Amino acid sequence: MDKTWKAIIWNQFGAAMDMMKNAIHTCPDDVWGDFSKKPEWKKNDVVGFWYLVYHTIFFLDYYLTHPAPTSENEFSPPAPFTLSEFDPAGALPERVYTKEELLSYLEHCRQKLRRLLSDWSENKAQRSSGIPYRDMTVAELLMYNMRHVQHHTAQLNLILRQKIDSAPNWVSKTKDKLGRA
């Protein structure tokens, strides 16, 4: 794949991750989550702001794993994160994750995307994603993944607007260059 398309994908996917990062930084501690309680499902609040961030980054990481794991057990997120997102019963993490932990995880994913695009080719783009419940090519999964990040980032920004009457600005493209590690 030519350098132009790699740069476009990087600029837009990076912008989606930048917007999530900005939402994390903007979120006040009292909106982030209650560290004194074990996470639990709630009727209208899912689990909390932190959980929406975690869910998004977990699947960002999973969908950037190439070649795709042939089973969910072959995927391993970095510590302290677990495979709880794959639990069909909806198991939650044992505790609220901190902003710092999730910002570090987001940076891990940014570097993973950088590595993926560094050896991106037309052949790689056309391969099957290998994820049984996502019948699409690696290229389509990449676009799906970016849409997933932006979808949940929009939810985070809505929560911020509702709770603090403010949200981060739109990022049109990342300022971080693809070639820089």
Q: Tell me: the pLDDT tens digits for 6-41?
A: 999 999 999 999 999 999 999 999 999 999 988 888
CA distance 155 to 177: 27
Number of domains composing the chain:
1
* Residue 40 φ/ψ, nearest 5 degrees: -150, 155
What pLDDT sits at residue 157?
A: 98
Q: Is the pLDDT of residue 43 over 80?
A: no
Does some domain include residue 172?
no
- Model pLDDT, residue 164: 97
65 pLDDT more than 80: yes
CB half-sphere exposure, 79, CA atoms < 13 A: 0
Report if residue 12 sits inside a domain. yes
The per-residue pLDDT of the chain, averaged, comes to 91
Question: Considering only CA atoms, which of 147, 56, 62, 44 is closest in space to residue 102?
Answer: 56
CATH of the domain at 7: 1.20.120.450
Q: What are phi and psi of 28, to 5 degrees?
A: -70, 155
Is the residue at 40 inside a domain? no
Token pair listed for 123: 């052949």
Query: What is the spatial distance between Cα 155 and Cα 162, in angstroms, rounded to a whole number?
Result: 11
Cβ-based neighbours of 181, under 8 Å, separated by 6 or more: 111, 114
Q: What is the pLDDT of residue 73?
A: 65
Quick one: DSSP state of residue 87? -
Q: Which of 152, 151, 128 is nearest to 139 (CA)?
A: 128
State percent of the chain over pLDDT 70: 92
**What is the pTM assigned to this prediction?**
0.93
Which domain range does residue 76 map to? 3-32+50-164
What integer pLDDT is reported at residue 179 of this predicted model?
Answer: 77
Q: Is residue 121 part of a domain?
A: yes
Has residue 123 been placed in a domain? yes
pLDDT of res. 167: 97
**pLDDT tens for residues 77-101?**
999 999 999 988 888 999 999 999 9
